[in-house]
Amino acid sequence: MGNWTTGLLILAAMSWATAIRAAEPPQAAESPQEVVLKKNGLKALGPIYVLEAESDVKKKVSEVKLLSKQWNHARLQQQSILSVKDHQALIQGLTGQVTQLRAEINVVNQQMNRLPRYRGRLANNYAQEAYAELLATRNQLNFTLNQQNALLGQVRSQPPDPKLKQKIDDEVQARHDEYLQAVHDLSQLVTTAKDKYAALAKNDEVAKALAGLDPAIKPRPRLGPSHEFHENVKFAERLEKEATLSSAEPKAKATTKSRRGANSLRTAPDS
Residues in the chain: 271
DSSP per position, 87-136: HHHHHHHHHHHHHHHHHHHHHHHHHHHHS-EETTEE-SHHHHHHHHHHHH
User: pLDDT digit of tens for each residue in the chain (271 aa)?
Assistant: 455 555 555 555 555 555 555 454 555 577 888 898 999 999 988 889 999 999 999 999 999 999 999 999 999 888 878 888 888 898 899 999 999 999 999 999 999 999 998 888 888 988 899 999 999 999 999 999 999 999 889 888 888 888 888 899 999 999 999 999 999 999 999 999 999 999 999 999 999 988 988 888 788 889 999 999 999 999 999 998 888 877 655 444 444 444 444 343 333 334 3
Spatial contact of 47 and 220, defined as CB atoms under 8 Å apart: yes
Distance between CA atoms of residues 262 and 258, nearest Å: 6
Distance CA 219, CA 206 (A): 18
Domain boundaries in the chain?
29-81+162-248, 83-160
Q: What is the C-alpha to C-alpha distance for residues 43 and 37, in angstroms, rounded to an integer?
A: 7
Distance CA 243, CA 195 (A): 22
Q: Is the dihedral of CA 230, 231, 234, 235 positive or negative?
A: negative
- Model pLDDT, residue 196: 95
- pLDDT at position 192 is 95
Q: Is the peptide bond before 116 cis (omega within 30 degrees of 0)?
A: no
Report whether 189 contacts 59 (CB < 8 A). Answer: no
- Give the pLDDT of residue 257: 45
pTM of the model: 0.61
Contacts for 257 with CB less than 8 Å, ≥ 6 apart:
none
